[in-house]
Amino acid sequence: MTESVLRKPPVWGAGLIAAAILFSFALACGMPFAALGAVAALTLPPRDAMLLAGAGWLANQAIGFGYLGYPLDAMTMAWGVALGASALAAVCGAVLAMRHAVGAHAMIGPAVAFLAAWGAQQGVVFLASLILGGTASAFAPSVVWFILWTNALAFVSLIALQIFGARVGLATPLSGQAAG
């Protein structure tokens, strides 16, 4: 391995964490964990993608509790843990999808990874709502559509950032490293 290969993923990872911080300020608990998990899985080895998703979640929680004033009660903290699990599930969903999409067209693989990440992330949130108690309105079609749309927009933005980063030498090429 060359020095540049060893240095590019940390720069790219720092860029994704910076994006997570910006998303947290802009969207609070609407953080697009599925988009972050899918892009991490598409550009980093699985272990690094999981670490990055965890770091993005941690940044989100630090901003939520430290800056946005989330209440320090057991239910809010339990939901925070559930969101952390959903962020990791997003990476797992994308990794599994990429393993099954090996050889797919360059546009299909990332789309499949994103949809799998979103489904896994939302699945964990749904299970958490059954355990922690959620409202039916949280899964109303308009809310689910908004979450999907927000994650899709974040995903496209992060992929565009990744393509730019790869062209200027600050990110690894989009290669679906999760499949390896």
Give the C-alpha separation, 9 to 137, whole Å. 39
* Helix 46-66 / helix 33-43 crossing angle, nearest 10 deg: 150
Instruction: Report the alpha-carbon distance of residue 180 to residue 108 in Å, rounded.
Output: 17
pLDDT, tens only, 92-108: 999 999 888 777 666 78
Per-residue pLDDT tens digits for 66-85: 988 889 999 989 999 999 99
State mean pLDDT over 122-144: 86
Q: What is the pLDDT of residue 180?
A: 44
| pLDDT given at position 25 | 73
**171: confidence class by pLDDT, cuts 50, 70, 90:** confident
Report the pLDDT value the prediction gives residue 149, as an integer from 0 to 100: 92
| Nearest-10 crossing angle of helices 74-100, 33-43 | 40
Q: Which residue has the tokens 């079609």?
A: 141
Radius of gyration of the chain (CA): 16
Q: Taking residues 40-65, what's their average pLDDT?
A: 91
pTM score, whole prediction: 0.85
Q: Is the pLDDT of residue 10 over 90?
A: no
